[in-house]
Structure 1
Amino acid sequence: WITFFPPTCCGPFGWFCAGVTVLFGVTLLCVAKRSPVEKANVLVWRLLPVLLGLLCVATLGAAEGLVVFCGTCLISSAYLGSRALLPVGDKAVLITGSDTGFGHALAKYLDSLGFVVFAGVLHKDGPGAEELRKTCSRRLSVLQLDITNATQVKEAYLKVSEKVQNTGLWGVVNNAGILGFPAGGELLPMSMYRQCMEVNFFGAVEVSKTFLPLLRKSKGRLVNVSSMAGGIPLPRCAAYGASKAALSMFSGVMRQELSKWGVKVAAIHPSGFRTGIQGTSNVWEKQEKEMMENLPADTRQDYGEDYLLGLKDYLLRMPAYCEADLSPVLSAILHALLAKRPQGVYTPGKGAYMFPWVFCYLPLWFYDFFVSKMMNTESVPRVLRASEAKSKNL
């Protein structure tokens, strides 16, 4: 003991530092005992400063040790403040787009945690809705909710209000969305731009505005599921990316404006996950036909039939580049719903942070090159192929 704590550190001030450190550690052990869910975080991020404090007092001296100890305590407190979760209790959450994908998995996940879940679906009698009824508890209610239909949104609001009554609605998760046909911005028909904006942006705004009185009453959470494509430009995502960018901006503005009401707003920007958002082969054929019918003759000639018909192959390759495990997104949404200090933006999934970092901090020419290689956008229109071949012959 004498060897570990030199005589210079064993004065009154040194013993005070050691006493504060020990008291702090005992308090945190009690906190960990009361909160099993956060026990690992508490033990790692709060006991670490305790041990570091003792070490600093022993090696640096009392004054220096106390400074380092206080600094590490502040850092760990800030970290744990963002990690601490509120109890689920009887909190009620509305989720749009619960037929498949993130919404479907989230409805099951929140139900298993004890939430009162209102699962909005596009097809109330569809397979996704039926599975929710069969596998989830009686707390979960399936609601017919086409977010582009103002009447259905209003009816859903009345049903939710009637059920929650004085308890209030804690959260709204705007998850419903469509991808559209992945083609160049010049090739997409205007109807695809309008459809993406109608579902991905205007629908989410309609739901948010309708249910905000309930969220303001409970000082709850508004969570908007955007996309990595809503923060950075990605090839073949002109319509989808533009609509998600609008949703991300809406989320940021609402986060600022609703803070005075105690409502916290978060945007989720996932990378690629296998959610089925790309649709089925029947949907692809319909979208492809619509695109081909609306192309001007000269544009169709310049791009070439083989290039245009090959666009659908990208849809077939998409699942290979997407993650099957949806848990990172579910965890991010849960944190946004329950954290005492939720983040404004979450980026779950591989590449969801890397791509924006490259876009923000490196030259644009490098970002464009990086994205073209990562997304395999190597197909070339007919006119450009002919021009390249002619240049080589010369």
Structure 2
Amino acid sequence: IKCTCAEMLCCCGKCLVIHFCYLHCVVDCRWLYRDSLEIEDFKNKYVFVTGCDTGFGNLLCKKLDRKGFRVLAGCLTEKGADDLKECRALSELSCDVTSQDSIEKAMEWTKTLGLVNNVDVHYPWHTESKLNGVIAMTMTFLPLIKQARGRIVNVASVLGRFAVESFSDCLRHPLLWIKVCIVEPGFFKTAVTSLEPIERELHRLWNQLSPEVKASYGDKYLDNVNVNIQRLIMNAVCDSDLTKVTNCMEHALSAAYPRTRYSAGWDAKLCLDPPLLHAFLCS
């Protein structure tokens, strides 16, 4: 049977496409299987989580407790600690990540396999103090985590992620036997994304400005900010399903092969996917 060159090329092209699809399926199945593997003996694994009064930290502690981890929850208020008293294998203590004395007292309480720095670095006025808290927590607990060959999970929001990402990347490469993961949530309905504290902080910052700076913006600058429109936008953008974030945190702690980066929420995936390729190439 005679075949033309065009027919042969077409046949070869189809074979290559089929071969590529098969290889892609094999790689995907292998990745999914590897991603589903978990570490063993959760009941002897200690995890310290900061920022547990509300939101992601509070929900994560309850999930880890149900899974069997020994959880130490760092709370800033008594109300937050009281909400976690129902958990069996969970201990709560007062922990202020901006205070080195508070951090060192927390370290005396536990043997740590995992550390979750659940600090909300969402806005410019949070960055310095909260980032210093992440660094202080990590460096204080690092000897324990090294000894346990454990892992560190840092939460970096969409708006305040660059400093936390850079610190995590610098930490990861020299400490190859410690897993350092970054969870990057988008906008979710938590106390941090509530408009009331944001408005109070804006007014506080406005009152600190000099008369010259205020004049450059106009005396009625804050009055012209339409709060109702802001609230409508925040309600439309913010996701109420916090488990999208806590599932990522849980996987980072319990998986045998945790990922370097996790993006939770459609907006996080839209904004943060390019660094995933960079992390893959560097790792």
Same fold (TM over 0.5): yes
Look up the equivalent residue of 1:151 and give its one-letter code. D
Name which of 111, 114, 119 aligns with 1:171: 114
2:76 and 2:94 in contact (8 A); partners too? yes
Q: Tell me if 1:136 matches 2:87.
A: yes
Look up the equivalent residue of 1:141 and give its one-letter code. S
1:98 and 1:176 in contact (8 A); partners too? no
Q: Say what the alpha-carbon RMSD is for the aligned residues.
A: 2.9
CA distance in 1, matches of 2:217, 2:95: 40
Extract unaligned runs of 5+ from structure 1.
Answer: 1-59, 181-191, 230-240, 362-394
CA distance in 2, matches of 1:356, 1:176: 18
CA distance in 2, matches of 1:152, 1:210: 11
Name which of 207, 227, 231 aligns with 2:157: 227
Q: Quote how far apart the aligned CAs of 1:174 are.
A: 0.0
Q: Tell me if 1:79 matches 2:32.
A: yes
1 or 2, which has the higher helix percentage? 1
Q: Quote how far apart the aligned CAs of 1:324 are.
A: 0.7
Q: Quote how far apart the aligned CAs of 1:219 are.
A: 0.9
Name which of 269, 272, 275 aligns with 1:353: 269
1:97 and 1:120 in contact (8 A); partners too? yes
Change (3 A) 1:72 1:176: closer
CA distance in 2, matches of 1:307, 1:111: 48
Look up the equivalent residue of 1:254 and give its one-letter code. L
Look up the equivalent residue of 2:45 and give its one-letter code. K
Could you say what secondary structure the match of 2:74 adopts? strand
Could you say what secondary structure the match of 1:153 adopts? helix
| TM-score, normalised via structure 2 length | 0.81
Q: Quote how far apart the aligned CAs of 1:310 are.
A: 4.5
Aligned to 1:121: 75
Identity within the alignment, %: 29
Extract unaligned runs of 5+ from structure 2.
Answer: 1-14, 278-283
Q: Quote how far apart the aligned CAs of 1:66 are.
A: 11
Query: Within 5 Å, which residues of 2 pair with 1:13-32?
Result: none
1 or 2, which has the higher strand percentage? 2
Change (3 A) 1:211 1:274: same
Change (3 A) 1:312 1:85: farther
CA distance in 2, matches of 1:147, 1:360: 28
Could you say what secondary structure the match of 1:228 adopts? coil
Change (3 A) 1:159 1:357: closer
Change (3 A) 1:220 1:178: same
The CA deviation string for residues 178-228 of structure 1, in whole angstroms up to 9 with x for no partner, is: 544xxxxxxxxxxx64x43111x1101100001111111111110000012
1:173 and 1:223 in contact (8 A); partners too? yes
Q: Quote how far apart the aligned CAs of 1:71 are.
A: 7.5
The CA deviation string for residues 262-288 of structure 1, in whole angstroms up to 9 with x for no partner, is: 21000111111111114573x446423
Query: Within 5 Å, which residues of 2 pair with 1:60-75?
Result: 72-75=25-28
Look up the equivalent residue of 1:277 and give its one-letter code. V
CA distance in 1, matches of 2:173, 2:134: 18
The CA deviation string for residues 162-188 of structure 1, in whole angstroms up to 9 with x for no partner, is: xx4xxxx211000022544xxxxxxxx
Larger Rg: 1
Q: Quote how far apart the aligned CAs of 1:99 are.
A: 0.5
The CA deviation string for residues 47-71 of structure 1, in whole angstroms up to 9 with x for no partner, is: xxxxxxxxxxxxx9xxxx9999787
Change (3 A) 1:205 1:272: same
**Relative contact order, CA 8 A, sep 6+: which one is greater?**
2
